[in-house]
Amino acid sequence: MDIEIRKLQRKEFPAALLQIPAPPANLWIRGKLPSPVPGQVYLCVVGSRLSTSYGREACRKIISGLSGYPIVIVSGFAIGIDAYAHKCALEAGLPTVAFPGSGLSDEVLYPKNNTRLKEEILKAGGYFLSEHEPDFLATQWSFPERNRLMAAMAKATLVIEAAERSGTLITARLTLEYNRDLLAVPGPIFSPAYAGTNKLLRQGAGAITCAEDLLEALGFERPGEDEKREKILADLSPEEKVVVEILREPLSRDELIRRLNLGVSRANILLSTMEIREIITEEMGEIRLR
């Protein structure tokens, strides 16, 4: 997608980027700078380049639960959690903003293997911002430099996963320096990939274990059960809607199949499909909504 790169005028700079000790002197944009939306919140999502399956799953589940809310996902377009956060935002229908550590021309945009993601972001109406000339090649120092813009742009930063010496912790530190909210996903205590994240939690970062935690941290009213049920129902088939309506309380598989009245084989296929799609879960002999 051939979308022009242009230099923003100072009056066009996002206001949040001018509120930090070292604001950008210049900004280039690729994509369309959107008009402000009342109540819209920017959330920076960052994490390890060497992402784990746990981290990716946490990222997907949390961001998917933000669908329908006026939230913009900000990240750094890097391999790993950053790129995955952009992808999850697109899947959830949320706007997303990328701050690469390079200029914005196709010849230098880093990393090269995220070309398809770049196209998807631009096609969905997202945009890229950089304080460097369009042909600027990424350097070792340009990544921590752009981290300050990501932290400044957002109301809060969510750290999905970070090792003890992860560059992600630079963004976390800047978030606190800029008086933004710092949030983190708890990780396995035996995993080095989460040593940094768990340290942030010990130091006072807000613990985020689900989308509802995050919505509350961002100032949105925590959705009630009826609201959650309506949101789930919106994207389901007629048979799946019947399952959700029946599961107002957890039920055994046998009891749920009996109430569905579809036949054992057909009902089991339906329930297996819903479990794969993570609409329902079976624990301790009972099926419930996730």
Q: CA-CA distance, 26 to 136, in Å (whole number)? A: 13
Question: How far apart are the two ends of the chain, measured CA to CA in Å?
Answer: 38
Closest among 172, 230, 181 to 199, alpha carbons compared = 172
Enclosing H/E stretch for 240: helix 238-246
Per-residue pLDDT of the chain (290 residues; tens, 9 = 90+): 568 899 999 999 999 999 999 999 999 999 988 888 888 999 999 998 988 889 999 999 999 989 889 999 999 999 999 999 999 999 999 999 999 999 999 999 999 899 999 999 999 999 999 999 999 999 989 998 999 999 999 999 999 998 888 888 999 999 999 999 999 999 888 888 889 999 999 999 999 999 999 999 999 876 665 566 566 666 788 888 888 888 888 899 999 999 998 888 888 888 888 887 778 888 878 888 87
Structural contact between residues 175 and 148, judged by C-beta atoms closer than 8 angstroms:
no
Q: Which two tokens stand for residue 63?
A: 């961001």
Task: Return the amino acid letter for 118.
Answer: K
DSSP state of 103: -
> Structure pTM?
0.78
Task: Name beta bridge partners: 22.
Answer: none
Helix (H, G, I), strand (E, B) or coil at 29: strand
Domains and CATH numbers, the chain: 5-217 (3.40.50.450), 225-289 (1.10.10)
